[in-house]
Amino acid sequence: MEGFIHQVVSGLATGSIYAAVGLALVMIYQSTHHLNFAQGEMAMFSTFIAWALLEKGWPYWAAFFVTIAASFILGFVVQRLFLRPVEKAPVLTNVIVFIGLLVIFNSVAGWIFDYTIKPFQSPFPKDAWFSTRFFSAHEVGSMSVTFCVLLALYVFFRFTPVGLAMRAAAQNPDSARLVGIRVSMMLAVGWGLAAAIGSVAGMMIAPVVFLDPNMMSGILLYGFAAALLGGIDNPWGAVIGGLIVGVLENLLGAYVIGTELKLSVALVMIVGVLTLKPSGLFGKVVVTRV
Amino acid sequence: MSKLLEVSGLNAYYGNTQALFGIDFSLEEGSVTAILGANGAGKTTTLRALCQITRTTGSIKLDGQELAGKSTERIVRLGVGHVPDGRGTFTGLTTEENLRLGAITRRDRAEVSLDLERMYARFPRLKERRHQQAGTLSGGEQQMLAISRALMLRPRLLLLDEPSFGLAPLIVVEIYRILREINEQDKVSMLLVEQNASIALDLAHEAYLLETGRVAVSGPSETIKGDETIRRSYLGY
């Protein structure tokens, strides 16, 4: 029984990270109807930035926040440079750009930081007061950090003018232009925010999976599963989807299929959702009259 | 009175198709000008051209400042409010968020909140529905929302695209009463595009009749209303 509970809670902890990745994907999907395949690699690259700062002897939290800011700028600049020219292009063009970004970030990270697997420090000491029989300190810590990020995002979108402008631009870009919103700029801010969320996910998962340029490939797959399960256009859905995916992955890995096949859980879920309930658990069902 | 808007030699294109052919018109500060015409005459295109949503050539001057070549967002920031074709409601946001979006480019937050209350005083129905999703509002309510959203900008010029479209006659009368009030009390200049010629001519000071992208007839509304031939051949009433 104790083993079972531990599987569930550690599933929630990794699930919260999948939730963050899923949320980053949903954010870009909502405004552009594209899935950013490079989201994971951007998060990996951000984590390397944090690693480099830590290697220079920066205190953890300083490195953490500087990395978030740097990732925001990185995401913003990537949208301006690479996505803006293809904003009106067909979906496939965008997909090619995403795949190009994925390969570029992966190779550049390998080139600068090399491909050896590196340990990444957790800011939460093993014997912290909040570690319990069921939760390790890092699990509690990473879950709390992710939920702080979610809360901050909620407040930003719900209560600030920029958040409102971004929601308007995502929902009805034509109308948004007619009230004076710079829609293209809002897309870039969205990319920045998504990259910032991704960086938090990267820094929180790196102590568990270790840091290397391919660190996020599996995580991104779980993030996709999370976003799809919750409904690709629903931020809350992505969060709940992430938690469900995390728990299911752990339970199936421990009791049914073994750890080697864990990643296929994500794949099965993606295919399952797309065939059985394409709108996900909480997504909007789009009905078009023909 | 001075000219607020002066348009000369305006051509507009959708891709390679030309929709407007050298249109000239002007609008005096504080007045209402109506653009009338049948379906496909280029009424909506004229408004889109002013906002630079379509590709144009020719000159569009707002208070002496050239608008041609500027981005839509920039033109809105210069004080051109738009009540678009189809009302442009942000259906997933609340009524109040829709109104706040109208003032999103303004920096005087305290004044914006006051304006919000003024809109609610003018449209009590919107106040009742302030926290409701705007997509659930009725057609008339959404039209009122579109008008008040555009007014939240405190526009110098208000562009209205068929405010009577798809609404019950009583609601149309109500909306035009409010538009007249806004023009007379708040001195907002308006450029009005309408198919419903009789009600538009009652409100407007001047009118232009478009036919396949060209100005066919123009003049003071009174003259146009009084001219039997024009009424029969262009306005059909």
Instruction: Decide if B105 and A179 are in contact by the 8 Å CB cutoff.
Output: yes
pLDDT at B228 over 90: no
Edge-to-edge strands, sheet with B65-66: B17-28, B3-14, B55-62, B65-66
Quote the strand ranges of B16-129, DSSP E: 17-28, 32-37, 55-62, 65-66, 80-83
Collapsing DSSP to helix, strand or coil, A204 comes out as: helix
* Contact status, residue B148 vs residue B136, Cβ threshold 8 Å: no
Instruction: Decide if A179 and B77 are in contact by the 8 Å CB cutoff.
Output: no
- Quote the tokens at residue B196: 């419903």
DSSP at A211:
B
Nearest chain B residue (CA) to A177: B73
pLDDT score at B61? 94
- ipTM comes to 0.90
pLDDT score at B102? 95
Instruction: Decide if B84 and A176 are in contact by the 8 Å CB cutoff.
Output: no
Closest CA to A199 of A22, A32, A10, A48: A48
Strand partners, B81: B158
Query: Which of A171, A178, A181 is the closest to B82 by Cβ?
Result: A178
What percent of chain B clears pLDDT 70, i.e. is strictly above it?
99
Closest CA to A222 of A33, A40, A3: A40
Instruction: Decide if A175 and B73 are in contact by the 8 Å CB cutoff.
Output: no
Beta carbon pairs, A and B, within 8 Å = 64
Residue B79 touches partner A, C-beta closer than 8 Å: no
pLDDT at B73 over 90: yes
pLDDT score at B179? 94
pLDDT tens-digit profile of A108-138? 999 999 999 999 999 988 777 777 777 888 9
Helices (H) and strands (E) in chain B, counts: 10, 10
Q: b or e along B123-137 (b: 16 or more beta carbons within 10 Å of the residue's beta carbon)?
A: beebeebeeebbeeb
Mean pLDDT of all residues belonging to chain B = 91
Residue B158 touches partner A, C-beta closer than 8 Å: no
pLDDT tens-digit profile of A53-76? 999 999 999 999 999 999 999 999
Residue with tokens 């023009």: B183
pLDDT at A157 over 60: yes
Range of lowest pLDDT (A265-274, B153-162, B179-188, B198-207):
A265-274
pLDDT score at B93? 93
Closest CA to A48 of A198, A246, A242, A152: A198
Residue to substitute from A175, A181, A187, A189, interface B, most B β-carbons within 10 A: A175
Query: Which of A164, A171, A175 is the closest to B100 by Cβ?
Result: A164
* Contact status, residue B164 vs residue B172, Cβ threshold 8 Å: yes
Tell me the DSSP string of A86-144.
GTTS-HHHHHHHHHHHHHHHHHHHHHHH-SS-B----SS-TT-TT--SSS-HHHHHHHH
pLDDT score at A1? 78
* Contact status, residue B98 vs residue B149, Cβ threshold 8 Å: yes
Instruction: Over range A186-202, report the average pLDDT.
Output: 96
pTM: 0.88
pLDDT score at A288? 59
pLDDT score at A283? 78
Mean pLDDT of all residues belonging to chain A = 91
| Residue A264 Cα distances to A173, B160, B223, angstroms | 38, 56, 77
pLDDT tens-digit profile of B84-128? 988 899 999 999 999 999 999 999 989 999 999 999 999 999 999
Residue B72 touches partner A, C-beta closer than 8 Å: yes
CA distance A207 to A228: 26
What percent of chain A clears pLDDT 90, i.e. is strictly above it?
66
* A206 sits in which H/E element: helix A183-209
pLDDT at A290 over 70: no
Burial of B50 (0-12, 13-18, 19+ CB in 10 A): buried
Closest CA to B161 of B126, B196, B209, B206: B196
pLDDT tens-digit profile of B30-52? 999 999 988 888 999 999 999 99
Task: Pick the more confident residue, B227 or A60.
Answer: A60
Instruction: Over range A255-284, report the average pLDDT.
Output: 84
pLDDT score at A105? 96
pLDDT at A188 over 60: yes
pLDDT score at B224? 87
pLDDT score at B10? 94
Q: Residue A289: pLDDT band by 50, 70, 90 thresholds?
A: low
Query: Which of B53, B77, B93 is the closest to A168 by Cβ?
Result: B93
Chain A: nearest CA to B183, how far in angstroms?
20
Contacts of A177 in chain B (CB under 8 A): 53, 72-73, 76
Instruction: Decide if A171 and B97 are in contact by the 8 Å CB cutoff.
Output: no
Cα angle B139, B143, B147 (rounded to 5 degrees) comes to 170
